[in-house]
């Protein structure tokens, strides 16, 4: 626990702050406050506590409105919260009409217990700061409004936390009232990485879109005269100039001197340096209805700073791009780099899905960077994928209880996805990562979708895919259960490829006719029974992941496993359990 406690002189603190915008109209002369905009704003003031050096706010004077949003809380003995509020009110002061004090006399605040937030954030929770605090006292954290911090621990006083700042990497104390939990990004079809891309419009329509003239106003469209090429349209000196964007050896270029991976890369470059065009790109002209993904990511707290990212060696190759090892503010991360703008846009939806997922058995998304495409930054899971982990250690180092433990971890992660009505569609041991403390985590949500039909089966992993998904393109959580059965076979065979010595065509034909794999050598009977239940031809007869997790937990208990199964050598391998005499 951090040591910040409650001063003996501390007492209830009633703070009033009026935000900008429509809610500022709440405080009107001779009207009851808090009747619009949802949250009730009590008209009350802090009374100075003797010895604290605070200046009370008087209702006889005009009220100050600031951009802060302040919640109920308790005043620390030093009065830091109140001082901060006064400071920011002075930074952006605006005089409001006087309010009759009779409302203050008739208003009775609820008890402190009813006003205090009941939510307690656990260590590891990511939060967004609701205000600015750039003059911290010793031990406190400096931050601006909208910064991302990670909770490290709760203090003895319930209204304070110790946290780490995402951008600066600094650690310090901050008040709970200054935080809100990081939001999930909404999956909105109008959300675009390229809101300035207008698709198939003519040059004349582009000119109309860029009115009234404004130097640096721009959009990108598809070329009508040269199919496959693009046109950058820029407003400059009361005119609109059209630059043809050419394809050259897989890259894009305007002057054939500077080449770009994609349109996002090009726009980013000319926003910083005008180079071969008439002026620097200053203001994008959004397509009607489009929302800027960059703005929404920043608002929700998921947009990371490129300057804090250091990229290292490649540690994997996904279907849509390389996976690199890296560091973000000293934390090891895995980075998926997607350079194709079309693919990056498609992955934006998947990223939005990942922001909603918080589970110990799912690889955690840390944030997104928009630079030369899309960088998806995830937690680094140190021991690599489960297939290689098992192959390089084998039976001598990994015992059956540990195999059951890994299987249970995967089942619990998939149970969580199932509860969210999400289908993984590529569940296999290669997409399970093992952490330093031997926790298995489901990864690679590049294919994860809400349940739906009619998907292209030509690129599917045939040996792991359920027959109804191969034949009819029907993917549900039950098709994931089938894949989980194949994953169990991989686990208990210590990483062997399923359906050995069979071609993909032979596998699909044999499975359709009712063929099922034999259990791997040394596989316990209950584990094979679970595999068989996952491979029921009728999807409805396959167990849900909740039942699978329950059965695996029971088998783990029966195997005499504890929370930490086996020992761990200095090199990270698992030692076999000691034999009973």
Binding-site residues from annotation for ATP:
336
By DSSP bridging, strand 291-292 and strand 191-192 are: parallel
End-to-end CA distance of the chain: 44
What is the torsional sign of CA 536, 541, 545, 547?
negative
| Tokens describing residue 184 | 């999930």
What gap in Å lies between CA 141 and CA 156, rounded to an integer? 17
Closest by alpha carbon to 308, among 182, 171, 169?
169
Question: Residues annotated as binding site?
Answer: 336
Q: For residue 324, what is the enclosing H or E element?
A: strand 321-328
Cβ neighbour number for residue 510 with a 10 Å cutoff: 14
Q: Which of 147, 265, 341, 426 is catalytic?
A: 426
Residue 124: left (phi > 0), alpha (psi -120 to 50), or beta? left
- How many whole angstroms separate alpha carbon 507 and alpha carbon 500? 10
Cβ–Cβ < 8 Å for 567, 574 = yes
Helix (H) or strand (E) holding 395: helix 394-397
220 token code pair = 């990108």
SS3 540: helix
Give the torsion sign (CA, 434, 440, 441, 444). Answer: positive
Q: Can you state the angle between helices 263-272 and 341-355, rounded to 10 degrees?
A: 90
Alpha-helix runs per DSSP H in 49-173: 80-91, 102-106, 112-115
Q: Running DSSP on this structure, what letter comes out for residue 153?
A: E
> Counting Cβ atoms within 10 Å, is residue 367 exposed (0-12), middle (13-18) or buried (19+)?
buried
Rounded Cα–Cα distance for residues 560 and 554 (Å): 10
Residues 6 or more apart whose CB falls under 8 angstroms from that of 494 comprise: 390, 391, 393, 394, 395, 398, 520
Contact 433, 332 (CB under 8 A): no
- In this structure, what are the phi and psi dihedrals at residue 212, rounded to the nearest 5 degrees? -70, 155
| Residue found under tokens 């929700």 | 300
Active site residue 426: yes
- What is the C-alpha radius of gyration for the chain, rounded to an integer number of angstroms? 29
Q: DSSP class of residue 373?
A: S
DSSP H or E stretch at residue 116: none
Closest CA to 502 of 511, 513, 493: 511
Which residues does the annotation mark as catalytic? 426
């Amino acid at each position: 626990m951090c040591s910040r406690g409650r001063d003996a002189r501390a007492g209830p603190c009633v703070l009033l702050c009026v935000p900008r915008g429509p809610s500022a109209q709440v405080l009107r002369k001779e009207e009851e406050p808090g009747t619009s905009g949802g949250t009730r704003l009590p008209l009350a003031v802090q009374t100075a506590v003797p010895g604290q050096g605070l200046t009370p706010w008087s209702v006889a004077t005009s009220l100050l409105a600031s951009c802060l949003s302040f919640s109920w809380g308790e005043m620390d003995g030093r009065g830091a919260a109140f001082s901060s509020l006064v400071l920011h009110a002075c930074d952006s002061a605006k005089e409001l009409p006087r309010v009759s004090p009779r409302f203050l006399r008739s208003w009775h605040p609820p008890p402190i217990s009813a006003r205090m937030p009941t939510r307690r954030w656990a260590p590891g929770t990511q939060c967004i700061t609701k205000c600015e605090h750039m003059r911290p006292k010793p031990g406190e954290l400096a931050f601006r409004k909208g910064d991302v911090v990670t909770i490290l621990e709760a203090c003895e006083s319930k209204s304070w936390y110790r946290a780490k700042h995402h951008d600066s990497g600094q650690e310090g104390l901050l008040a709970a009232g200054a935080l809100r939990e990081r939001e999930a990004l909404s999956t909105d079809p109008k959300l675009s990485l390229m809101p300035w891309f207008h698709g198939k419009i003519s040059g004349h329509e582009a000119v109309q879109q860029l009115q009234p003239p404004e130097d640096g106003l721009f959009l990108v469209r598809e070329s009508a005269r040269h199919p496959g090429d693009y046109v950058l349209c820029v407003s400059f000196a009361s005119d609109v100039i059209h630059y043809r964007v050419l394809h050259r050896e897989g890259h894009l270029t305007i002057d054939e001197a500077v080449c770009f991976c994609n349109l996002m890369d090009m726009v980013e470059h000319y926003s910083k340096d005008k180079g071969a065009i008439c002026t620097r790109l200053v203001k994008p002209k959004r397509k009607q209805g489009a929302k800027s993904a960059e703005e929404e990511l920043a608002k929700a707290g998921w947009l990371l700073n490129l300057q804090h990212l250091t990229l290292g060696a490649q540690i994997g190759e996904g279907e849509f791009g390389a996976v690199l090892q890296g560091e973000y503010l000293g934390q090891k991360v895995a980075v998926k780099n997607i350079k194709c703008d079309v693919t990056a846009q498609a992955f934006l939806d998947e990223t939005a899905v990942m922001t909603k997922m918080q589970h110990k058995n799912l690889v955690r998304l840390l944030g997104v960077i928009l630079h030369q495409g899309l960088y998806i930054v995830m937690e680094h899971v140190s021991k690599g994928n489960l297939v290689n982990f098992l192959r390089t250690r084998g039976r001598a180092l990994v015992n059956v209880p540990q195999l059951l433990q890994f299987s249970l971890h995967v089942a619990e992660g998939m149970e969580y996805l199932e509860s969210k009505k999400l289908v993984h569609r590529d569940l296999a041991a290669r997409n399970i990562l093992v952490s330093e403390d031997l926790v298995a985590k489901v990864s690679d949500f590049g294919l994860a979708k809400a349940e739906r039909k009619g998907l292209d089966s030509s690129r599917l992993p045939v040996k792991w895919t359920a027959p109804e998904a191969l034949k009819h393109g029907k993917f549900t959580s039950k098709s994931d259960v089938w894949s989980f059965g194949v994953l169990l076979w991989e686990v208990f065979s210590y990483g062997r490829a399923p359906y050995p010595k069979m071609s993909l065509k032979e596998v699909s034909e044999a499975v359709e006719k009712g063929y099922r794999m034999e259990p791997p050598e040394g596989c316990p009977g209950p584990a094979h029974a679970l595999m068989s239940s996952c491979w029921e031809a009728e999807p409805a007869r396959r167990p849900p992941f909740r039942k699978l997790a329950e059965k695996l937990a029971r088998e783990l208990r029966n195997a005499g496993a504890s929370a930490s199964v086996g020992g761990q050598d200095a090199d990270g391998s698992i030692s076999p359990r000691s034999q009973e005499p």
